[in-house]
Chain A
Amino acid sequence: MLFNSISFLFLFLPVAVIVYYIAPDRAKNGVMLAASILFYAWGEPVYVVLLVLSVLLNYFAGRDIGAKLEDPRRARLAVAFGVAANVAILAFFKYYGFLISQINLLLPEEIPYRELSVPLGLSIFTLQEISYLVDVYRGKAQVQKNPVNFALYAAMFPQILAGPVVRYSDMERQLEKRSVTARKAGQGAMLFITGLAKKAILANSLGKVFEQVAAMPTGSISALTAWIGCFSFALQIYFEFSGWSDMARGLARMFGFEFRKNFEHPYISRSITEFWRRWNISLVTWFREYVYLPMGGNRGTVSRNIFNMMVVWILTGMWHGASWNFIVWGVYCGIILVMEKYVWGESLDHLPGPVRRIYFIVLTLVGWVFFFSPSLGYSLRYLTAMIGAGAGFVDGEGGFLLLTHWLLYLAAAAAATPLAKAFAGQIMGISGNLRVRTAVTVTLYIGIFLVSAAFLVTDTYNPFLFRF
């Protein structure tokens, strides 16, 4: 079930919230777990078995590690086994088909294989479970003996489909004790509505523009149209991701849980390094904690550090999907980060602000071209269209797209920077009177919710981009 579906909004959510609020404190975790399993099974009726098995595996692996903590050698073996099992499951369901298809390209004979669809949320819950095993091994967290609490951590419906990747050490105490208040429910609802609007109104509309451009043969895309397509994709993927994160955080807060912020206005960055401190923070942190630092991080030689960075970024790219475009994109990001760290980072700091912004925007957009292209050849053709080698610089198509979506781009630009939030704050602070303030706030948010619902109910274009 997706947050942007009518079944979720007007069937699952009201029932789940009310049952949860009515339930006595000690039953709340059980209620939320049941809701989460139902939520997952609705969208993934077969793979729910895999989810349950994965949870059981890690529950027992965690207890096993905990029992062996006294003996570092055995504990090390236990954690290695647990992590390897998780990686194996992930690799089989996500990368097996891709791997065989690549091997088939090299071999004279075809190896038959079945292309599996990636189980929803697999890349999220596997990463979370690995973080649990490692945190227990490192002594950063206690073994979770209560299977309900552990299962709830791994399968909690607000974040199971698309993150954020919540670390166990952040959740440990909240699983035992947390409070639900009207204030938190309200904050959660507001955050959820914000995220829903990002997805339903902005991301979907931007996605339509992007798909229109992507459907054109690259030879007939003018530079203007190519840039519009690329900008649209950049904004779409941001609103998809951050909208989803906002919805997840909002829902979690309505149920008393607190997640860390996952996006911090990444598009106001002035370097790629800064961008990756603001974009999908939970994922970047996970790779840093559980891959980069264990590999040695930036200790050791420069070449060793560059090697570590490249490995991490290739893996990060592959995490987004099993195909070459994501690997190319990962390599691209890795190279730029290495360059900013060792080559031009310092000189970049001395450049005037606007130049740095242009530097950042161009590099980011080129990166997204690699990300969205079905093949390397397509991305190169698209990039040449962006410099006017496709169908000249300006054409009617580009003008039409701009003219017919000006409000969308205006709203998207405001929402991708701190402007929209400041503007909403101005509106809500219009009066010092508490009643007026409350009325304005309620009207604003319910109004945004209504418009989002109008888009979701009556528009057929409503994709889910995160099958990872």
Chain B
Amino acid sequence: MDNRKKKRGKTEGVTGIVFILCLVVVLVINLIVPDREKSGKEDRNLASFPAFSVESLLTGDFAEGVETYLKDQFAGRDLLRSLRVSLGKIGGNRLENGVYLGKNGQLLEDIQVPDSANLAANLEAIRSFAQSGQDIRVTMMLVPDAACILSDSLPAFASVEDQTQLFGMVQRQMGDSVTWIDTVSILNKYKNEKIYYKTDDRWTTLGAFYAFQESAQALGITDSVAEQFASYAVSGSFNGDLAAQCGAELGDSEEIDIYVPTLVDDDVVVTYVDEAQRTTSLYDSAALGTRDQYDVFLGGDRALTDIRTVSTGTGRLLVVKDSFANCFIPFLTPYFREIVVVDPVYYSGTIQDIMDTYRITDVLFLYSGNSFFTDNNISGVFTGGQSDQ
């Protein structure tokens, strides 16, 4: 063996030993590092070690469970994820786990296409409810997602479904059974302001405020609403769900604002019915200490929330909604004496129960496009049918 070959042999030998050492060290570290229940960076629960049974061993479920467990509890998982996402970004990647990495750090959720049967059932349920002859004002507010309004921020060449067109189809099908609020036009007017979070899929309170301002009349609010609210920042360190979902922009921190009425009293009694909790604030400041800071609005998504106000208005409003509504509802408290909020994802009763119990006079459907088109619980709350979540 000549000298060069010998040298190369030495290099190879060292590489082999280091490789095997690496495997052993990682194995030991994984054994030592304690398991985590939740991943903050990914905003989800992590798998725990699977329960063993002969059956699960024979079907291979056990092996699969172990693999998921090892992946989820892998030491340094968050770091490895950042490494992969950063490398992908360097390589040009702009679509990670359903999230577009847009210009200037703007994250945008991909526009979801509705499942036609599911959508038809939802629309039919809403229409027959609105036409059921009761003297109730039904308003529908579908909020476009950021990828629809901020299309300039989408990465180059990215093409998403035309959500405006989807909304137009829904509007046509609903006909004049509901009062339709054209949030697309409203938000388009303000697209240069910060009406969406950069790291979260939801609109900012500012976006909700503009939508409120321009839809107040349609909601039966006759007073002028201009100059009635003052905004305060309650957090400067918000990092949203989209960042967690795609693993990019996890270092970005954003502001969360709340809007408070300036001219009238805003005393409320908020009851979370299922949890049997009562509070006197629309805001849950404890949420600001968690990763889900958006939960500051109405304590996050709850099945059924009852808000009593000191408003001189006589209306009793039911809001059927997703989490976009959470920052919108505080604008309504000066104008309705009672607001009942229901989230069909969590609520197991029917709308009719609520209509009777609370003697509702007005109904508002408030959803973002993506959750409206993917939610398969909506028709269930009308028919009382089993939701298939």
Contact = CB atoms under 8 A, between A and B. Distances in A.
Tell me whether A and B are bound partners: yes
Interface in B63-98: 63, 66-67, 70-71, 74, 77, 80-81, 83-84, 87, 90-95
Contact of B57 (A15, A45, A189, A397): A45
Contacts of A437: 7, 11
Interface stretch (B16-24, B142-150, B219-227, B250-258): B16-24
A7 B16 contact: no
Contacts of B12: 182-183, 186-187, 190, 441
B159 A458 contact: no
Majority-rule SS of B interface residues? helix
A407 B13 contact: no
Interface string A187-215: 11110010000000000000000000000
Contact of A434 (B10, B22, B60): B10
B93 A405 contact: yes
Interface residues of B, number: 47
B243 to A, nearest CB: 15
Nearest to A408: B91
A1 interface: yes
Contact of A11 (B18, B27, B91): B27
A225 to B, nearest CB: 11
Contacts of A456: 71
A190 B14 CA distance: 11
A387 interface: no
B155 A449 contact: no
Given A6-B71, A397-B159, A1 B22 contact: no
A182 B13 contact: yes
A169 interface: no
Contacts of B80: 453-454, 457-458
A92 interface: no
B155 A6 contact: no
B66 to A, nearest CB: 6
A14 B24 contact: yes
B92 A193 contact: no
Nearest to B7: A434
B91 A406 contact: yes
B9 A6 contact: no
23 contacts: A6-B71, A7-B70, A10-B26, A10-B27, A10-B70, A14-B24, A183-B16, A185-B17, A187-B12, A189-B20, A193-B19, A400-B158, A403-B92, A405-B92, A407-B90, A408-B91, A428-B11, A438-B14, A449-B22, A451-B84, A455-B84, A457-B74, A458-B80
Given A396-B158, A451-B87, 9 more contacts: A14-B24, A18-B20, A182-B13, A183-B16, A184-B16, A186-B11, A438-B10, A441-B12, A454-B80
